[in-house]
Amino acid sequence: MDPPATYRCRNCQTPIAYRDELLSKSYMAKTGQAFLFSDARNIVFGQKQETNLITGVYTIASIFCSNCGEELGWKYLQASEARQKFKEGKFILELSKISKHF
Instruction: Render each residue's pLDDT in the chain as its tens digit; 102 residues.
Output: 556 789 999 999 999 999 999 999 999 988 899 999 999 999 999 999 999 988 899 999 999 999 999 999 999 999 999 999 999 999 999 999 999 988
Q: List the domain boundaries for the chain.
A: 6-101
Neighbours of 49 (CB within 10 A): 12
Q: From 3.40.1010.20, 2.170.150.20, 3.20.20.80, 2.40.30.30, which CATH number describes the 6-101 domain?
A: 2.170.150.20
Q: What is the DSSP string of 49-74?
A: EEEEETTEEEEEEEEEETTT--EEEE
Write down the pTM of the prediction. Answer: 0.93
Task: Determine how β-strand 98-101 pairs with β-strand 56-65.
Answer: unpaired
